[in-house]
Structure 1
């Protein structure tokens, strides 16, 4: 499975990046906690396995409230790279975006064009990622 960043035309395009899994960035992933919220998280086992090859701390959630509570209990010196489905992202990002521990957010979805509009308001969103 290949992950590609979406191509969108908005003011955040210059900031958006692909998921940081290039060989030059692998050593830096160990300093992050990847938190992934998706109501269909169990359908992404292959991608989870791929991520676990590069990072030891991948925490997955399929429940928005539990995920939000967990994130809000983290220490400010922890660095969270947050992956979220588009639908759940619209609901949780407004509540966690300001947290110091959240350093980057990636929206993982089927329809990146739909999520382009609402993501413009959040500077920590580095990409809208599509499976296709």
Structure 2
């Protein structure tokens, strides 16, 4: 089969998906949980940050932002009754994790 015949036998298919307007049941919102997002470059004015916060707040009712490890430690000490989760990364996380690892109400880092 030469190149011309090969091109003629090529079939292209496309798949489209339609979005549905069906209302989904409300997601369960975690009550009595605290999420702390620790990132030196958090900028609440940026759309990407706002979108991420919106998604997080759809799941957990109490989200705190920190740009420094000490802020995170203060928040964890202030909210001693709520189970807490911390999101951090990079060098900030390397310094923060050893400081907060033993906190009893800290559920996950």
Please give the range of the TM-score, normalised by the shorter of the 2 chains. 0.5 to 0.7
Q: Specify the SS of the correspondent of 2:79.
A: coil
Higher relative contact order, structure no. (Cα contacts within 8 Å, ≥ 6 residues apart): 1
Instruction: List gaps (5 residues or longer) in structure 2.
Output: 1-26
Correspondence for 2:84:
80
The two structures have a TM-score, normalised by structure 2, of 0.63
- Cα offsets for 1:19-74 (capped at 9, x unmatched): xxxxxxx5362231111100112252221111112222101111221222221333
User: Could you say which structure has the larger radius of gyration?
Assistant: 2
Distance in 1 separating the partners of 2:87 and 2:108:
9
The number of residue pairs the alignment matches comes to 80
Instruction: List gaps (5 residues or longer) in structure 1.
Output: 1-25, 106-132
CA RMSD in angstroms comes to 2.0
1:66 pairs with 71, 75, 78, which one?
71
Correspondence for 1:103:
107
Distance in 2 separating the partners of 1:72 and 1:95:
12
